Structure 1
């Protein structure tokens, strides 16, 4: 029986103990798009035996794990203080989750006590289990488009089995996103209320599979948050990106997407350096692509995400 690529389900639940199957259910489903799945990554170890004849001796597989990448729409949670359905993914990407009841949910960077998750990836009735999952996340806001998180997840390889049926996944609780636009989105960078075509921010987690005697785990071993924005070129008097790049000036980045309670997401970075701008054009209008380096100011504060 043939299997269809588009018949997918991703279930995710936080683990109480590392790599102990949290057994996610259909209610823990992640509604994703642009999915890429690598069922078995790792190393191939050759034996290199000296024999009286030539030929391929095969390999031994070592350090086998799975990798899953997908997009999730950036939207609110439905009501002030509610946890968004994608909140558990941000937590395995090295964010803490702080709920201010009736106000907002804030995701802030943490370095210790990182959480892990169990993922069931179901591809048309075949289920791949990933345990001890850790993730990186990147955010993209493009004018006239749907804003999206891009999650890259690695996990220890669990069982691979036939299910017979697909999980009963629904979109209940997932909020319809709104388009990035002048009406819905406000971005400021270094004090300038930007006219921008796009903004991307990458938390920059280094995901490292560790396979040692006595312990096997997926780890976030480093991070370096970066980004890029394409802005309309205005006069030097308005904003001088070149002087700021030369002087290594740091300034704030803020983007607020949404205007209604329950469907607003805000990202904030207090100390952003700009890199060397490159000049281009869109629709015969001059623009600059400006690299961004999100730096800690007081530690663990280079990026926050607030859902309200």
Structure 2
């Protein structure tokens, strides 16, 4: 019988310490509800041997150190309970983010620059089980009108032998349906001093996730990040806010997106300081739009992006 590409299951759990070798994601609690997934079982290069011989032809190669890579996309949702982490929270933690739980109020995520968490994923491709230990990754978020909000993770992990295992019966009830992006569920952007309607928003954290192949230090490390994003807004006119002049003057300002109108559904993504590139015109059904690339910048360090799930942080406590 042929193997099927749409019969896949993934489980993920945080490790107690890096590559502990014992953490096992459970089907009952650690299942991941994905929209799509791509697995590269053996990512990495080979070593050319390049023999010199009295005839033409290929030289043999030696296998280099490999890692397993998984790229998967999820709906960006909440747990539905204030102060309870969303199901994607542990995935974000292994991408170099901290998690602060304020009971009954909110969960706060912000990037870190040391002591990143790591995890284990078990990805079953219709019976082929790929185990990735010491896994770390980087996220990208997309919130476009008339679509579902999504978060895409790109993970790298240390490989284990590929084995055969029946597809697990993963429990996915913790993955609540996300809210569609529209005027009913989503606020206009607060962008550099103006409130503007939008139809496209993205943020890619662009974490540098590397396979450290130094002899004796075989691990997956996060060595930096260069976040950037794109958005498309309804042109407010230069009389309201002149984004062209702001770009020319290298001005910076705040950017905030809020999705979900009730506290239990609310996700806020904010950046205190962003710089923008030259805006360009675009069209949406005859409406003049501005397409703008932006780059978040840290203010005090590890604060260039903040995600709050639940009630907003009170003004007197906000960074």
Tell me the TM-score normalised to structure 2 length.
0.94
Q: Is the 8 A contact 2:142 2:201 kept in 1?
A: yes
Deviation, structure 1 residue 56: 2.4
Q: Describe the superposition over 1:21-51 as per-residue Cα deviations: whole angstroms up to 9, x where unpaired.
A: 3111112111111211111111111111223
Look up the SS of the partner of 1:29 in the other structure.
Answer: coil
Q: Give the distance between the partners of 1:12 and 1:175, measured in 2 at CA.
A: 17
Q: Give the distance between the partners of 2:67 and 2:214, measured in 1 at CA.
A: 14
Aligned pairs for 1:145-224 (under 5 A) are 145-163=147-165, 165-186=166-187, 187-224=189-226
Q: How many residues align?
A: 307
Q: Are 1:255 and 2:257 an aligned pair?
A: yes
Q: Tell me what 1:53 maps to.
A: 55
Q: Give the distance between the partners of 2:268 and 2:161, measured in 1 at CA.
A: 38
Aligned pairs for 1:47-86 (under 5 A) are 47-86=49-88
Q: Tell me what 1:111 maps to.
A: 113
Q: Give the distance between the partners of 1:297 and 1:50, measured in 2 at CA.
A: 56
Q: Tell me what 2:26 maps to.
A: 25
Q: Calculate the aligned-residue CA RMSD, in Å.
A: 1.1
Q: Which runs of 4+ in 1 moved over 6 A?
A: none
Deviation, structure 1 residue 171: 1.9
Q: Give the distance between the partners of 2:237 and 2:254, measured in 1 at CA.
A: 20
What are structure 1's unaligned runs of at least 5 residues? Answer: none
Q: Tell me what 1:38 maps to.
A: 40
Q: Give the distance between the partners of 1:191 and 1:110, measured in 2 at CA.
A: 27
Q: Give the distance between the partners of 1:20 and 1:160, measured in 2 at CA.
A: 19
Q: Describe the superposition over 1:142-195 as per-residue Cα deviations: whole angstroms up to 9, x where unpaired.
A: 0011000011101111121001x2111122111111111112111211121111
Q: Tell me what 1:16 maps to.
A: 16
Look up the SS of the partner of 1:28 in the other structure.
Answer: coil
- The structure whose residues are more often strand, as a share, is 1
Look up the SS of the partner of 1:234 in the other structure.
Answer: coil
Q: Is the 8 A contact 1:175 1:263 kept in 2?
A: no
Q: Tell me what 1:245 maps to.
A: 247
Look up the SS of the partner of 2:39 in the other structure.
Answer: strand
Q: Give the distance between the partners of 2:266 and 2:215, measured in 1 at CA.
A: 46
Q: Give the distance between the partners of 1:253 and 1:234, measured in 2 at CA.
A: 16
Q: Tell me what 1:141 maps to.
A: 143
